[in-house]
Amino acid sequence: MSWEVSSMLSKRSFFNRTLFRKNLTRFWPLWGGAALAGSMVPLYLLLALLGMPDANVSARDFAYALYTTDVYAVPAVTAGYAILCAMAVWGYLYNSRSVGLMHTLPVDRTGLFVTNTLSGLAMMLIPYAVVGAFSCLIALFWGFFDLAAVMNSVLAVAFMTLLFFGLATFCAMLTGHVFMLPVLYLLMNFLAPLLEVLVASLSEMFLVGVGFNNFTLTEPLSPILAIYHRFSYGVEPVENGEGAPYLIGLWVVALYALAGLVLLALAWLLCRRRHSERAGDVVAFRWLRPVFRYGTALLSGLTLGRLLYELLRMALFHYRDYALVIPVWVCMALAGVLGYYVASMLLEKSLRVFRGSLPGVAAVCVGAALVCGTVSMDVFGAERWVPDPSEVEMVYLGDYEVQFSADQTEPEKLQQIIDIHRAIVEDRNYIRDGRHDTYQSGKCVSRWINLNYTLRNGRTVSRGYDLWVTADRAADPSTYDGMLLTLYTQDSTAQDRVKIPDNGELRSVYIYNYNDNGEVTNRPVVENLAVYDALLQDAAEGNVPGYDLLRESSEGYSQLGMELEYRCWKKDGYIHTYKRIEVYPTMTHTLEKLMELGYVTEAEISQWNQEMGLEDSGPIPADMVVQPGK
């Protein structure tokens, strides 16, 4: 064949069949092993069905099993498997010999990129196709096939494959070292939430009430967290049982699949600009070197710096709950400089990185000072933040024992809770500095108070306060102690203790009590509505006491209690929950009803009251009760 002919034959193409075939044949143990491992699930199903000829499996059960797999197993499996496939198809970029061979071939970078991407996607989808086909054949043979559920599952798998392989491919283009690829991939999945945790953790050292609660800010930047949080399944409500399951949030996965496509496009651009000689380098682009160097310094400062400070604190500042700025800065700067040098050594592939590093070290120290200063001085006002009632859609205030909530339909209660928050914030220096003296001075208890806001703009904000509540301060209604006492003991609180929500449906009632050995016995109450009516009657007559703010969590629980199990209808299905109620001697209607129905005897009640020391003083020891305004 002449060269002119060969030149014509090698016209530009975006796909090379030989390379595709070679990828699949080279890495068949990877996708073959995955297919084999995945096939264990339908194989188990098959054996179970063969062993139980009378088994009654419905299409609903099949859909339920598929959706459970889609929601719980597929995200983690796909995320992990994607990086293996990416390491297989992009591995040639990390070795100068292999990159030499591939880039000498008469295929341009776009052709290599498209072919390798399609190879990787095929290697990811083949195991799913095998397992899915096996499962569908079983379902068809036994007659419980559900086409809609299968199609939904196919979409979910395809979307997640696109997302995670796109992300892994993007990471593959940024680095020139095969061991750096999984590290980078892990960081891309978790860096944003990790930073949120670290910054919150640093804030916690200086600021009252501010700390990590959830990944509300950074969750969208972590695909795996976002999918696990937003992708689930529900069950259609029907009378006398549960209806067909359905997927919730498939559109979120579809959006992330689009992000995966965008990442693939970016990876293609990087692939075209990437230099072959970067094989073996930690980062494949020069502009990424400072990002890697200072990024490592930042992460090191926030993690190792925190660890170092904790060691220092245990030795020198163990009496302090809140940190001093200078020691924290020193620890952060030391750890940051360490991270800077480690990153430099990885970049230079040499231990000799100290010469000329002074400006970089100075930058790290200044950066550590900026971070410490910004957080400790509360530049962004996180510690001082109290919302305006008009901004709030819903607020929860609670501790280990009780939770209060309010929304715009209860403006007075909403204002009451926000006022408590404001009082706590105004007393932040008292909380930060003086509480150890307070603890020594008189009767007080520790309360961990959580405040969770859902704002009208969709944001959620949480605060957590480790407060000392004293009897002296509780007598003053202008302090947070006094305000909390009012909230805990007011009539509406007592009613809320026993009343299930308006949209709730009582499902069952259990009675429990502690026997002489301290063990709990739990019995269902058949006449649940009658007992619940008695509870409501006690609440209406003021027989149900409020919560005792000054009681330690471990003391004074009634030995007799009830558990009301109920369900509420939410937009995605029923939520099952329960209320636990302590039964006090003052709750006469309830006790009478329980005695009448034979669940307790008068002798038992008398014995419990004696053991609890409640016979004379009622449910709450008199010396511990402080009424507002007294």
Partner 1 sequence: MIEVKSVVKTFDGFTALDGADITVPDGGVYGLVGPNGAGKSTVIRHITGIYRPDSGQVLVEGEPVYENPGKKALIAAIPDDWYHFPSATIADMMRFYRGFYPAFDMARYEKFKEVFALPEKSPIRRMSKGMQKQAAFWLTMCCRPKYLILDEPVDGLDPVMRRQVWSLMMSDVSEHGTTVLVSSHNLRELEDVCDHVGIMNKGRVLLERSLSDLQENIVKLQAVWRTGEVPVLPGQLQVLHTSHVGRVYTYIVRGRAEDVTGQLEQFKPLMLEALPLSLEEIFIYELGGEQYAVKEIIL
Residues that bind partner 1 (CB under 8 A): 1, 3, 5-7, 9-13, 16-19, 21-22, 26, 95-101, 103-109, 111, 275-277
Least distance (Å) from partner 1 to the CB of residue 113? 12
Instruction: Supply the DSSP string of 3-35, one letter for each residue.
Output: HHHHHHHT---S--HHHHHHHHHHTHHHHHHHH
CA atoms within 13 A on the CB side of 321: 15
**What is the spatial distance between Cα 246 and Cα 254, in angstroms, rounded to a whole number?**
16
Q: Kindly tell me which of 16 and 296 has the beta carbon lying closer to partner 1.
A: 16
Q: What are the CB-based long-range contacts (under 8 Å, 24+) for 3-9?
A: none
Assign residue 505 a region: left if phi > 0, alpha if psi is -120 to 50, beta otherwise?
beta
**Mapped to the 3 state alphabet, what secondary structure does 173-223 carry?**
HHCCCCCHHHHHHHHHHHHHHHHHHHHHHHHHHHCCCCCCCCCCCCHHHCH
**What is the spatial distance between Cα 319 and Cα 314, in angstroms, rounded to a whole number?**
9
Q: Kindly tell me which of 3 and 319 has the beta carbon lying closer to partner 1.
A: 3
Least distance (Å) from partner 1 to the CB of residue 107? 6
Q: Kindly tell me which of 98 and 441 has the beta carbon lying closer to partner 1.
A: 98
Which DSSP symbol is given to 337? H
Least distance (Å) from partner 1 to the CB of residue 268? 13
Q: Kindly tell me which of 349 and 443 has the beta carbon lying closer to partner 1.
A: 349
Least distance (Å) from partner 1 to the CB of residue 352? 14
Q: Kindly tell me which of 29 and 434 has the beta carbon lying closer to partner 1.
A: 29
> Distances from the Cα of 198 to the Cαs of 306, 308, 358, 376, in angstroms?
9, 14, 27, 14
Least distance (Å) from partner 1 to the CB of residue 174? 18
Least distance (Å) from partner 1 to the CB of residue 106? 4
> Distances from the Cα of 94 to the Cαs of 124, 172, 195, 427, 466, in angstroms?
21, 9, 29, 58, 51
Q: How many CB atoms lie within 10 A of CB 448?
A: 12
Least distance (Å) from partner 1 to the CB of residue 89? 13
Least distance (Å) from partner 1 to the CB of residue 266? 19
Which DSSP symbol is given to 500? P
> Distances from the Cα of 366 to the Cαs of 53, 336, 355, 558, in angstroms?
73, 10, 20, 57
Which DSSP symbol is given to 278? G
**What is the spatial distance between Cα 95 and Cα 246, in angstroms, rounded to a whole number?**
47
The residue assigned the tokens 């090191």 is: 300
Q: Kindly tell me which of 12 and 571 has the beta carbon lying closer to partner 1.
A: 12
Least distance (Å) from partner 1 to the CB of residue 427? 58
Q: Kindly tell me which of 163 and 279 has the beta carbon lying closer to partner 1.
A: 279
Within 274-324, where are the H helices? 288-316
Q: Kindly tell me which of 47 and 101 has the beta carbon lying closer to partner 1.
A: 101
Q: Kindly tell me which of 10 and 415 has the beta carbon lying closer to partner 1.
A: 10
